[in-house]
Homo-oligomer: A and B are copies of this chain.
Amino acid sequence: MSCVNVIEKDRNVIINPLKTCQPLGAMFAVTGINKGFPIVHGSQGCSAFVRYGFARHFREPSEIAVTALHEDAAVFGGRTNLVSGIENLALRFDPDVIGIITTCSSEIIGDDVYGFADTARGNLKEKLGEAADKIEIIPINTPSFVESHYKGYDNAINALVNHLARKDEPNEKVNIIPGIINPGDIRELKHMLASMDTDGIFLTDISDPFDAPLRPSKTKEIPYYPKGGTTIDELRDSANSLGTVSICKYAGSGATSLEREHKVPSAIETPPIGIQNTDQFVRNVSKFTGNSVSEELLDERGMLVDSMADNAARYLYGRKVAIYGDPDLTTGMARFVGELGMEPTMVCTGVKYPDFNPDMEKISKESGSDIDVLYGQDLRAVEVYLKENPVDLLIGNSDGRLIALDLDIPLIRMGFPVYDRVGYQRQSVLGYRGGLYLMDLITNTVLEKYYEPTHWKLQQ
């Protein structure tokens, strides 16, 4: 029987992490709101590093404010910084939503961000009158020393929903919690929903904010912000949807809250990567809406099946693949790798979630492949592992590029961040069409690396 071997970290020190701290996830979530601005209550680095990271991955600007905590705040608290920061932001940027994102510093100092938010609201009311009411100021606790960016994302979505969702007339929509994915992924989800005559409310939607056209004639300036993102009305309306699908298994709190508070049924699943996971997503949407799957989607599915029938046995079967990254993408990818007849011999994630290993067990059984699970591990662990256990392909983010280079294993780029190649943020790995994209990428990488040396084999 194929089996899963869980290998946990056996050292204290972390070397080349596969995770980052909570605030990033919250900044990502708030950026997905139309006229939504994160304000990070922390040091300048807390926003600068993340803006830098977003810029090099998405190749877009990102407007993230910071309260710029300094030594004095460590002593006297960050009240002035946060209150004035919110006001400055509100007065200069005309936001609809301000998400207050805490950090290690502000959490350790023990700042009462809820109280400070109230103060800021009061001040703004004085300065702006009625106009202040439309600005939602939402505190989001994201202590950096608890869990990871995933938790920060989950906390942010949950805070948004708890703060904003209001029961009203039922709508015919489905809420989607997308997780930390790319603009291209969200566009593919929208395409799938549209194909099933379904409107979605994305909690939240970074597709336009992180992939905006360059059209100076249409660009909003001073302040610049991109069109798109989930509107505040949609966020409010999320209480009235037919259901919530969280395609991020590890960020389902918002879905659970909506179910508990507003009786919106939820489905919390692995992202729709590959055939079976996408089938499951389609079924979930179908279940909530009663709409059946469209011929268009079935044809897209059929095209993926068609190409898998062509390529999987011929070029991919039995190849060993190592996958590292966020737990949802790696789970989805591992299953798809199995569907392609390859063996996901190593899967590494930097965090620990109880569902992860049972999912790996399932995939191991399905694919007939033994899986070494590097659980709560780091990229150094991946490197050390691969030196002893070579694989044919590596799938993960750009942070593994030097490892791939040194070990001479082709790296299929996926996840966040990808900064040493272009265009990945515009692609979807989700849905049937995302499966086609991934399979082409994988197959062509295999052809280049393993077939080109005996090039006549490509003669057909």
Q: Which residues of B contact A298 (CB under 8 A)?
A: 213, 215, 218
Q: Which residues of B contact A214 (CB under 8 A)?
A: 302-303, 305-306, 309
**Segment of A93-101, A128-136, A234-242, A419-427 engaged in the interface with chain B:** A419-427
Asked whether A405 is an interface residue with its Cβ less than 8 Å from the other chain, the reply is: yes
Q: Using known A-B contacts A303-B211, A306-B214, determine if residue A422 contacts B405 with beta carbons closer than 8 Å.
A: no
Q: What string of 1s and 0s marks CB contacts (under 8 Å) between A408-434 and chain B?
A: 000000000001111100100000000
Q: Using known A-B contacts A213-B301, A298-B213, A444-B422, determine if residue A405 contacts B309 with beta carbons closer than 8 Å.
A: no
Q: Which residues of B contact A213 (CB under 8 A)?
A: 298-303, 305-306
> Would A455 and B59 count as touching, CB distance under 8 A?
no
**Residues of A within 8 Å of B, CB-based: how many?**
42
Q: Using known A-B contacts A421-B444, A447-B420, determine if residue A306 contacts B212 with beta carbons closer than 8 Å.
A: yes
Asked whether A452 is an interface residue with its Cβ less than 8 Å from the other chain, the reply is: yes
Q: Using known A-B contacts A213-B298, A215-B299, A405-B455, determine if residue A426 contacts B419 with beta carbons closer than 8 Å.
A: no
> Would B307 and A423 count as touching, CB distance under 8 A?
yes
* Interchain CA distance A401-B310 in the complex, whole Å: 22
Least CB distance from A345 to B in Å reads 23
Q: What string of 1s and 0s marks CB contacts (under 8 Å) between A294-322 and chain B?
A: 00001111110111011100010000000
Asked whether A283 is an interface residue with its Cβ less than 8 Å from the other chain, the reply is: no
Asked whether A233 is an interface residue with its Cβ less than 8 Å from the other chain, the reply is: no
Asked whether A443 is an interface residue with its Cβ less than 8 Å from the other chain, the reply is: yes
Q: Which of A372-419 contact B (CB under 8 A)?
A: 401-402, 405, 419
Q: Which residues of B contact A420 (CB under 8 A)?
A: 447, 455, 458-460
Q: Using known A-B contacts A423-B307, A444-B421, determine if residue A302 contacts B215 with beta carbons closer than 8 Å.
A: yes
Q: Which residues of B contact A300 (CB under 8 A)?
A: 213
* Interchain CA distance A303-B208 in the complex, whole Å: 11
> Would A405 and B306 count as touching, CB distance under 8 A?
no
* Interchain CA distance A326-B165 in the complex, whole Å: 57
Question: Which one of B401, B405, B421, B440 lies within 8 Å of A423 (CB-CB)?
Answer: B440
Q: List 30 A-B contacts (CB under 8 A).
A: A56-B460, A59-B307, A211-B303, A212-B303, A213-B298, A213-B300, A213-B302, A213-B303, A213-B305, A214-B302, A214-B305, A215-B301, A215-B302, A215-B305, A310-B422, A315-B422, A402-B455, A405-B452, A419-B458, A419-B459, A419-B460, A420-B447, A420-B455, A421-B447, A421-B448, A421-B458, A422-B443, A422-B447, A423-B436, A423-B444
Mark A residues whose CB is within 8 Å of B: 56, 59, 211-215, 218, 298-303, 305-307, 309-311, 315, 401-402, 405, 419-423, 426, 436, 439-440, 443-444, 447-448, 452, 455, 458-460
Instruction: Using A421-B443, A422-B444, A422-B447 as known contacts, list a sample of 6 further A-B pairs with CB atoms less than 8 Å apart, ordered by residue number in A.
Output: A213-B301, A214-B302, A215-B302, A420-B455, A421-B447, A421-B458
Q: Top 4 nearest A-B pairs by Cβ distance?
A: A213-B302, A423-B440, A214-B306, A420-B458
